Chain A
Amino acid sequence: MSNKEYYLEFEKTLQPAFTFLNGEELLSAFDNAFKTLCKEVEAGKISVDGEAVKGLNPSVQGFLMSKGEQYLKSIVQRKEENEEDFEIIRSVQEDGEKAILKAYRDLRDYFFSFAAGNFSSIGEENIADVFQDAMIVVIEYIQKGKFRVVDTDEGRLIIGLRNGATIRTFLVSVGKRMLQKEWKFPETATPPEEFKDVAPSAAASDESGAGQEIVYSALEKAFSQLGKKCKQILLYKYWFTLSMKEIRDILDYKSPGAVRTQKSRCIDDLKEIFNRLK
């Protein structure tokens, strides 16, 4: 059987039990199950001995179904298990801006105390800046339906928060990476210390930093000539420090690999335009 045939069988069997999930989520579940299968083969847990297959019960299709079902269950939570997030997601879905600002206020103290406890050198103003960026990611996940609430015959459900995660844990996981970046790339527009510590290149040779400004200005122009998708990928990857999987979720790419390929093309395009403008 080919992968496509395995998937069609997978979808046919599991879809009726998860009618509230979309095709993308089913495909993610299949991908996840298939990767697990590959890992187990690589680790020798599943092997071929003559005519017999060891470690696989009952079959490849059965293995994929079982792992796929586990994955699908892991992205579903009942409202009763997580009332706070159900309310945040529902209100942002239905009430828009007012609900977004309420979520901002509700989550703010939690994030600030996390940041102050773990990144004590970052000032309050910069923590607020990072918190806003992390909230942008949270709200985009909700607005794009990656986190959503649904009414089903079995009750009201939250879709998208995996393995018992909450909006708070997601916010902190995204924000932590941003705080690490903030630590290294502070709010000031001055170059990092390393720029002062090394021999300046031709582009930044003068003391006034005018060379840096020339590079910046050319790069800004080059960036403005990129397409919308490229601008978004670079923004999410380098400023918001999202993973390829997270970018795939927000920008609706087929796979993290597709995002990676597109990102490389975008960088190449940017460098090419930059070299022309320089």
Chain B
Amino acid sequence: MKQINEHEQDLIERYFEGALSGPERKEFDRSLDDPNFREAMEFHYNLLRVLKKERDRHPLKQLFREEEKKIAGTARQESGKKTGAKIPQGVRIRPIRRWMAVAASVIILVIPAYFIYLNSIDDPRSALAQEFLELPRRSVQAGGGAAANLEQGKDAFFNGDYSLAIKSLEGIPPNQEGYAEARILTAYAFFKKEQYPDAVATFGQLLKDEELFIQLPDRYRDQKQIRWARMLAYYAAGQTAEYQSEMDYFQSVGDMFYRNKAVEFQRRAEGGEEQ
């Protein structure tokens, strides 16, 4: 394993601690083109996996996990009791057999994924669906004002109600916390609603406004990912010149992942046009 310098090592450690600032993140992204840096990053990533396993052996961890199971069990029982009280008398509820529950889960999980997969092959514009799969989905209880709008918008977004998502997320003023997150989700929602020019503009706003970009939560703060999404929106909006310029960028970038993805996308897009 080749050595990297102390600063680079620090950059990697802080990346995994989620502690990089915006400019540091850019430096980190640039450094990924260096194979030694990448190798060091892989090493650190795998070290974290090893350490996680080591942590699992801690006696207190095992004790706490057991306790957490008990807490979850109690919560389930209490929620079951509450639900039970609402069932009208005389109505017989037949318990779902275990195998039926498993089968139902498989259907619920597999079928949508299969359609997303098919969709992504047939229509290059749906390549964005993959990005959706990677977006964080957790929602929390809302407070008031902007926080409530954000949570309502996120819930709507992840439940596929993009109109409501846009309505809620657009209600967050620029000076409020969560505005940056609202903008990125709004951009994706515009895309899903096939409002491609709006999607182009919103992705563009995030790419242009550095302060806004820096405020994005870590998971979304990926310039190439946003730029890629905007390129798809250009394509779908029929903005050929802009699309081609971005496509040229991705096909020439020193990032093999995006280069391959771009070549494949264009191949499919051209194939689609021929048909």
Contact = CB atoms under 8 A, between A and B. Distances in A.
Interface of A: 97, 100-101, 104-105, 108, 116-117, 120-124, 128, 132-133, 135-136, 139-140, 177, 180-185, 189, 191-201, 203-204, 212, 215-216, 219-220, 223, 231, 234-235, 238-241, 270-271, 274-275, 278
Contact of B42 (A104, A123, A215): A215
A132 B61 contact: yes
A270 B50 CA distance: 12
B49 to A, nearest CB: 6
Contacts of A234: 47, 51
Contacts of A124: 138
Contact of A197 (B46, B50, B255): B255
B46 A215 contact: yes
B50 A216 contact: yes
A203 B255 contact: no
A201 B39 contact: yes
A21 B27 CA distance: 47
A212 B46 contact: yes
A180 B19 contact: yes
A220 B57 CA distance: 14
Contacts of A199: 33, 38, 254-257
B218 A184 contact: yes
Contacts of A197: 32, 222, 224-225, 255, 257-258
Contact of B54 (A121, A136, A223): A223
Interface stretch (B64-72, B81-89, B202-210, B262-270): B64-72
B63 interface: yes
Contacts of A182: 18
B136 interface: yes
Contacts of A195: 42, 45
B66 to A, nearest CB: 9
Given A195-B42, A219-B46, 8 more contacts: A101-B67, A122-B136, A122-B138, A181-B17, A199-B257, A223-B54, A234-B47, A238-B47
A189 B46 CA distance: 10
B273 interface: no
- 6 closest A-B pairs by CB: A121-B136, A199-B256, A180-B18, A184-B18, A132-B64, A239-B51
A193 B134 CA distance: 9
A16 B64 CA distance: 41
Contacts of B222: 193, 197
A105 B47 contact: no
B109 interface: no
B144 to A, nearest CB: 13
B64 A104 contact: yes
B140 interface: yes
Contacts of B50: 216, 219-220, 223
Task: Name the residue among B45, B65, B222 with the largest chain A CB count within 10 angstroms.
Answer: B45
Given A132-B65, A132-B68, A216-B50, A275 B1 contact: yes
B147 to A, nearest CB: 9
Contacts of A132: 60-61, 64-65, 68
Contacts of A140: 60
Contacts of A238: 13, 16, 44, 47-48, 51
A199 B42 CA distance: 12
Contacts of A122: 136, 138
A216 B60 contact: no
B92 interface: no
